[in-house]
Amino acid sequence: MIQVGIIGGTGYVGAELIRLLSNHNKVNISGISSVKYRGKPISSIYSGFYQTDDLECENQQDIIEKSDLIFLALPSGLSQAIVEKAVYENKICIDMGADFRFKNENLYKKWYGKTFLNKSLHEKSVYGLPELNRDEIRRTQIIGNPGCYATSVELALLPLLSENLIEEDGIIADCKSGITGSGKELTESSHFVNCNENFTAYKVANHRHTPEIEETLSNSFKKNVKLTFVPHLLPINRGILSTIYATPKKALSLEEVHEKYSQFYKNENFIKMLPLGEVSKISGVRLSNYCHISLHYDDDNNKLIVISCLDNMMKGSAGQGIQNMNIALGFSEKEGLTTLPAVF
């Protein structure tokens, strides 16, 4: 069995990794770490793990030493030094934060206020969107797991940009996420009285996933992709719905566009193209690693509308992290991720 450790195992992403890895047939959770809860069992934080996965929180170095692969479920800026140690000891690292999502250090510094501590690590790292970088993921020790919003938008746009079907600028991404997307630490906007029966935009045209999306798509297709991205907070626990508006470069029927998407994703386990006339919805993907995509067209304004839905804790985070782990270790990508969406 492959030994898998989680550094930062008590946050929402860490807890979701524990839940999923506990049902994985080819790995064993070697341990979890936490600074705040060191020495305490995970069940004292999440009662759902009581007498099932009662792992005790340890220190980071112990996790590195006894693991073959390490997930780093930490706030951005804390993973680089740990990854440097782990890679030196020949471990595979999957960073669930933003430290290894960027190739451009200036962008990382501008949006996160940090620098690359070891530039050679960033040269080796791979952006962990399997549908885009599967072969590179197989060959690297360092995987930067994409952001949840970024995953939903990028999956919606990949087929269009690969076929040069839309204008690269003027793209609008209108996105909504559940509360877990804000992380476990309480903020003013995540207080129950402020989010319940409410629906708000935040970080309007100033969200950190904007440069991540633009850099990833621009570098991948050698285009200068620009988009306006506006996130919103939904009063639900989990899920993302992204509505993307783009201008076609040439006249194509919606049937032709749908066929191009179907061909692009025909071998992908977790991307589901809905039939024309249907609309992607969060309830269709909840608790699963699937992304549902539906296509629509505004004739009067010549706008192609793509609606992408995923569970931000699954395909938007922990599920995609395990998908990347499966690729890196040579397992079936579906291993541990075959749970169907909850129907209600």
Find the distance separating the first CA and the last CA of the chain, reported in whole Å: 35
- pLDDT above 90: residue 11: yes
Residues 6 or more apart from 45 whose CB is under 8 A from it? 10, 15, 37
Mean pLDDT in residue range 23-36: 95
Instruction: Name the pLDDT band for 143 (thresholds 50, 70, 90).
Output: very high
Instruction: Name the pLDDT band for 186 (thresholds 50, 70, 90).
Output: low
pLDDT digits (tens, 9 = 90+) for 285-339: 999 999 999 999 999 999 999 999 999 999 999 999 999 999 999 999 999 999 9
Name the maximum alpha-carbon separation found in the chain. Answer: 62
- pLDDT above 80: residue 158: yes
pLDDT at residue number 259:
97
Give every strand in the sheet of 303-310, ordered side by side. Answer: 200-201, 227-233, 171-177, 240-246, 303-310, 291-298, 271-273
**Average per-residue pLDDT in the chain?**
95
- CA distances 128 to 49, 165, 275, 302, 317, Å, are 28, 25, 28, 33, 11
pLDDT digits (tens, 9 = 90+) for 75-101: 999 999 999 999 999 999 999 999 999
pLDDT at residue number 253:
94
Match 């129950």 to its residue by tokens: 192
Q: Which two tokens stand for residue 325?
A: 């782990």
Mean pLDDT in residue range 151-172: 97
Residues 296, 304: Cα–Cα separation, whole Å? 6
**Residue at 273: amino acid letter:** M
Centre a 10 Å sphere on the Cβ of residue 220 and count the other Cβ atoms it contains: 17
Mean pLDDT in residue range 153-182: 95
Instruction: Name the pLDDT band for 184 (thresholds 50, 70, 90).
Output: low
Residues 168, 315: Cα–Cα separation, whole Å? 25
Could you tell me the sign of the dihedral formed by the alpha carbons of 120, 132, 293, 289, in that order?
Answer: negative
Residues 324, 186: Cα–Cα separation, whole Å? 29
What is the set of domains in the chain, with CATH numbers? 2-145+315-329 (3.40.50.720), 149-312 (3.30.360.10)
**DSSP state, residue 16:** H
pLDDT at residue number 185:
67
Residues 126, 78: Cα–Cα separation, whole Å? 18
**DSSP state, residue 274:** P
- The residues annotated with a catalytic role in the active site are 148
pLDDT at residue number 194:
74
Instruction: Name the pLDDT band for 180 (thresholds 50, 70, 90).
Output: confident
pLDDT digits (tens, 9 = 90+) for 221-230: 999 999 999 9
Mean pLDDT in residue range 12-18: 96
pLDDT at residue number 17:
97
Phi, psi of 167 (to 5 degrees): -65, 140
pLDDT at residue number 187:
72
Residues 262, 179: Cα–Cα separation, whole Å? 31
The more confidently predicted of residues 120 and 186 is 120
pLDDT at residue number 322:
98
- pLDDT above 70: residue 270: yes
With b for 16 or more beta-carbon neighbours within 10 A and e for fewer, the 23-54 pattern comes to ebeebebbbbbbeebeeebbbebbeebeeebe
Residues 23, 218: Cα–Cα separation, whole Å? 37
> Could you write out the DSSP letters of every residue in 75-113?
-TTSSHHHHHHHHHTT-EEEE-SSTTS-S-HHHHHHHHS
Residues 39, 320: Cα–Cα separation, whole Å? 29
Q: Per mean pLDDT, which range of 7-21, 52-66, 79-93 is the poorest?
A: 52-66
The more confidently predicted of residues 203 and 318 is 318
Instruction: Name the pLDDT band for 246 (thresholds 50, 70, 90).
Output: very high
